[in-house]
Amino acid sequence: MEYRRLGRAGLKVSTIALGSWLTYGGSIGEETAIRCIRTAYDLGIIFFDTANVYNRGAAEQVVGRALKDYPRDSYVLATKVFFPMGEGPNQRGLSRKHIMEQCHASLRRLGTDYIDLYQCHRYDHEAPLEETLRALDDLVSQGKVLYTGVSEWSAVEIDDALCIAREHNLDRIVSNQPVYNMLERYAEREVFPLCEREGIGQVVFSPLAEGVLTGKYKPGQPPPQGTRAANPQINMFMQNTMNDRTLTAVQNLQKLAQEGGYTLAQMALAWVLRQSIVSSAIIGASRPQQIEENAKASEITLSNDMLERIDEILGDVVSHYR
């Protein structure tokens, strides 16, 4: 397993992280979830990402129980705040009230004294940005949070946060968590250049495009039962990729990966990690075997020729916009 610094921070993370969206505390039984997390740890994956909203706190509870037997200083634990955790007007967003209350709730669910990386799950257009940053700064000062980050913020929003932090001498965000994969590359346009200049590490999610970049979805065929694309609640996130043109290109990618001696998932993860600004790529897993396979991507370096062939195959199915 390879380890990289999280941007310019001193913190190091495994280049493969294990996430818990849609799985732990929900569709996957706790026993299986714990086996997945322990398999990841045994393979050198030390970075575990979750969020308060994942199954309304259940994912955090499972992750906390799975990690309790390991030394706390041997892994990096990340969670997030923003989305609604109740019906009330203050049970969502990035106000001081919601951030403070949800940080304490996450600490209880995770069964830990501190969170390594606390992330703003989305940008809040209603809460003053300075209020959000001051709340995060206070959590760092209190020792409840070690580092702070954001997820799916635009370049302008990240730059505004950095400017306010400089102006008021507040703790500075160290990471951003964008969607990034072979098919969705919007972050390359503005977010990556800004973050590279400012030392903000990228912890990318959906590096396998919700499973499309595993090759399991075939053109002209319905999604296999039990997959994410077969779930109407998830399928809406996959509308840009679940079409015959894209799926045909992905089948050609799979042939290319086989030529190189990789699985398509391994090649897709290695493609994401070719970017030095990417500190880690978050994978999901419902079986320990998936983690064992995907962890090997940390050791793969794709040749320039293979990178060129990937772009030739994908052609105009790539999205550079959101």
Q: What is the pLDDT of residues 223-259, one digit of tens each?
A: 666 565 555 555 555 566 768 899 999 999 999 999 9
Cα–Cα distance between 150 and 133 in angstroms, integer? 11
Q: Which residue has the tokens 């941007």?
A: 7
pLDDT mean over 157-174: 98
Predicted structure pTM score:
0.92
Residue 150: the pLDDT is 98
Instruction: Return the residue matching tokens 């090759």.
Output: 215
Q: Work out the average pLDDT over 188-213.
A: 96
Q: Are 257 and 294 in contact (CB under 8 A)?
A: no
Residue 234 pLDDT: 55
Other residues' Cβ atoms within 10 Å of the Cβ of residue 218? 14
> What are the structural domains of the chain?
3-208+273-300 (3.20.20.100)
Alpha-carbon distance of 248 to 218, in angstroms, equals 7
Say which of 54, 118, 147, 217 is annotated catalytic.
Answer: 54
Q: Average pLDDT over the chain, rounded to whole?
A: 92
What was the pLDDT predicted at 319? Answer: 77
- Active site annotation includes 54: yes
- Greater confidence (229 vs 42) lies with 42
Q: What is the pLDDT of residue 321?
A: 67
